[in-house]
Structures are given as structure tokens and as C-alpha cells.
Amino acid sequence: MSERIAVAMSGGVDSSVAAALLAEAGHDVVGVTLQLWDYSEANLAEGKGRCCSPADIADARAVAAQVDFPHYVFDHTEHFREQIVEPFLDDYTAGLTPSPCISCNRHVKFDLLWRMAEALGATRLATGHYVRIEDTDDRPRIHRAVDKDKDQSYFLFDVPRAQLGHVMFPLGHLDKNEVRDHARRLGLTVADKPESFELCFIPDGDKDEFINRERPQEAGRPVSISGTDGERMGTASGLHRYTIGQRKGLGVSSSQRLYVLDVAPETDTIVVGAEDGLYSSSLTAVRCNWVAIEAPTESLRVQAKIRHRHTPAEATLQPNSDGTYDVRFDDEQRAVTPGQGVAFYDHGLLLGGGWIARATP
């Protein structure tokens, strides 16, 4: 009897093709979908559906029926709010710019979902991530996907090594066009379904309005806007409306283009200035997780990726005695943002990563 593989199914084309290809290869596939957010009100409006909305769950169920494997849906909205949504709100209202998709991979997709898979008798978990994984004797090795534009390895740096030991990524060697071609060849109903780019719990993409509703006391918090010389230039409401590198919606006028250079929660101040103030020579990373290597105890050359769409930059990683790491870039990097993740690579191999605590000019 072949091993049972649970496939995380969001209702999109990627996870659907991953499941269908595994079934086509003769594996015992079971589809698993987690309902993580309540879409019962305005979010059900036409065109507002996102990952794991009722429409997406229906699509996942339809693909499972079409390919002929069982499909299960588990409601874990409370867990998702506790582990993902509340920390997201905490970070934004504290002047940080969080990356909830990274946290979701750690706490939901490769932890909670795996426990559901085990309960269904699965020995492996597969997802539609564009990532390649190499099984070795001592640890899994995560590599960037063949499709560099779709590569999602950055989002996996915080997943504990043990959770990656039973994972499969069937799409890592394919590009997006090939995935859609497979979907059409297999006759899947989602073959031409558009991709979702917004956060699943903010279907309309309006992050500020979401925080206004969820944390109204913070949304009205007075904020001062000042220049780099300390001169007060204006006032606003809510730190969550601003992030490093932002140019639009600052609410102040100037003869030069202004950008957010710093968000200072201790003084409720937004510092704005010219673009050249956005560049940093180093950062400090905290709460680091190591995937392909043990925690470095000596300086290490890496390529550091400070956000999903960032080209990894050559840098030197230096461990500190308190468990944090300093990352010194060969060339200054633009808009290094506290709260975001930083992933460390060795030429396509994901070494690990951490969370940006601060940047240094």
C-alpha cells in the first residue's frame, strides 16, 4: 500500500495541481483545507473572496471530487486569530510592519495542518509552495524554486527544521505557466482561476480600515510627523498607517519628495525625509531560526533577503552574545523595515532567517 499524503488545499490552482499530480502518480492522496477566517459578512461580496473563503473551499472540494480523493475541512478560526491576526494587530499598532504569511507557515500550515494530516493517517504533507526540498540524512535542505518570480522559500525561514522533515513541494521544479498547463491537461475547474495577492483575513486589501475596526483605540492615537531635523511638519492618527519607505499619503507638503524614514512608537512620531535617508548599511536580526545549518557561532558570508520581492544582497552575518545577529551589507540596502523577516541564503539554499529589529544607516 502506498503512503498516504495529505495535501494542503486552498482552492487555488497551485495546491489543486499539487494534489492532482500526486494522485496521478499513484499516491494515496487526501485533501485538507483549514477554514481560518469568518467570511460571513461583507467579505462575501462578489470578487472579495480570498484563500480558504467559502468559494475557495468549494473549489477545493470540487477538485478532490473530480480527481477522486477524499477532502476534509477543519475550522480553526480561533487558533488563527490567536496566532496570526492578534500579533499582526499588535505589531502594526506598535509601529512595526509584520509579515503574517511567515508566521502562518510556522504556526498553521506546517504545525496545525500537519497535526490534522497525522490524524487522517498521512505520513507526508504536501503544499503548493514554489520551493524545492532535498532530503538528506541529517536535515531537509530548502532551495529556491526553479521559477524565481514565484519562489516562496523566503516565507519558510521560520519553520522549525523538524516540521520540514515530512514535507513535499510538488511544484518546486515547475514554473507558473507549466502549472496552469497541467491544470488544463487534467481538466481542473480552477485552471484559469486568478491568483490571490491580499492577506486572507483582509479580503478587500484595506489594511488600515481593518485595523481601524479591530483596534479603534489605536486607530485614533495622535501621531506627530517631523523632519530629520526634528521640526514638526504635521499630525496624523495611528502609527499603523505608516511604514518605512512609504511616499504616498503622508499628509504633509514639501518642495521635495518625502518618504517615511522611521516609525518611532516610543514618541508616537513619524520621521520623514529625502530618499537617500532610506538606505542602511546593516541590520540586527532577532529570534532567528536555522534550517540548513546549526546556529552560526562565527561570522558567515550570506545573501540576505529583507522582503519577498527583494534580490538577496551579499552580506556578512555576525553572531552576538545575546543570540541576535548583525547583518552587514556589502552595499547599502533600501527600506530595511523593522518587523519584516530577513532570510539568509547560500546561493539558493535557505540557511535560515530572523526578524528585523532595527536598521543602521
The single residue of 51, 52, 104, 288 carrying the catalytic annotation is 104
How far apart CA 31 and CA 260 sit, in angstroms, is 44
Q: What is the pLDDT of residue 49?
A: 45
- Residue 221 has a pLDDT of 86
Per-residue model confidence (pLDDT) at position 52: 61
Range of the domain at 225: 221-273
Average pLDDT over residues 154-166: 94
* 181-199 residue pLDDT tens: 999 999 999 999 998 777 8
Whether residue 38 is found in the same domain as residue 180: yes
Q: Is 104 a catalytic residue?
A: yes
87 and 170 part of one domain: yes
214 domain-assigned:
no
Same domain, yes or no, for 323 and 239? no
Residues 250 and 296 in one domain: no
Do 230 and 173 have their domain in common? no
240 inside domain? yes
pLDDT at residue 43 is higher than 50: no
Task: Give pLDDT, residue 41.
Answer: 54
DSSP-based three-state secondary structure for 351: strand
Respond yes or no: is residue 200 known to be catalytic: yes
State percent of the chain over pLDDT 70.
96
pLDDT at 44 over 50: no
Residue 159 has pLDDT above 90, yes or no: yes
Total count of domains within the chain? 3
Q: Is the residue at 194 inside a domain?
A: no
Q: Annotated catalytic residue: which of 51, 52, 200, 288?
A: 200
Q: How sure is the predictor about 62, in pLDDT bands with cuts at 50, 70 and 90?
A: very high
Same domain, residue pair 9 and 113: yes
In a domain, 353, yes or no: yes
